[in-house]
Structure 1
């Protein structure tokens, strides 16, 4: 067999067919205008805004956290499973509270947080001293954004804080690198 043609000892009968295939000119692609350059990525990120509802409608905080996380881990450290396996509190020994005190994690990221240096875990906003600090303390969300978690399950840019209260950009990047390298 050669080039998809079964010869079976009768090469002289197949030689003419093989010569015809070999003699064909290769196809030439028609000329086109060069492709357009790719569009620049948009710099504005859209974050979940939280539940927009009347005061009489209340959802459980854990439900709001799962809605905010869209079923994905909100830490995303090295080795992350990407799934929201559990909801944990930012305030130690307090499993309750509103959605600003809770976040979704996978099993691997929960273990990473347990092993993390206590100063770093507070610096990144994964742990807080009190429930009252939750709405004003940004958290490193998905290793990319330093965001405020609100009580309705939404995310906000911390630029609403006074500039003296905001962390410096290099501190955020150093912290993100530290988690990724552990």
Structure 2
């Protein structure tokens, strides 16, 4: 089945998942498969990334893309947590230093080698990442509540859940809450 013209990674993956689910239903007893499919818990898709010492899980539904970091244009008089802007296929996107934004501890001015672009209906923001470790699907019941940690204590609306992967805890970055943060929307320029 050809993919429709889509604009986001979430749309592409959802289309593929729907096609696979449809093929599975057609290959087996339709009644049994549809009952099983409708009773399963909804799966959430995540990309697991590392930023400095933090391990994050980013829901694919709020992720526009991940790729190599393009050249960044610095702008004067911006807060230290904004590296600058990039031109990504004709769109101007701000690139931020997550470590500096949440902990006021700059990454020594070092720009990451990869970028994850988060989006909502009105804006896109790029965050520098060090490494993509995996992509996975997990039901909501696999998520644990976060009650401690640097990011949770700084922005509990953005980092209130996590995923355990073996001995590692990946904090789930909630894209809608992140993009709605006051610090991203209303910051004061130095005088």
Q: Which has the larger share of strand?
A: 2
Whether the TM-score (by the shorter chain) exceeds 0.5 is: no
- Range of TM-score over shorter length: under 0.3
Q: TM-score, structure 1 length as denominator?
A: 0.27
Q: TM-score, structure 2 length as denominator?
A: 0.27
Q: Which has the larger share of helix?
A: 1
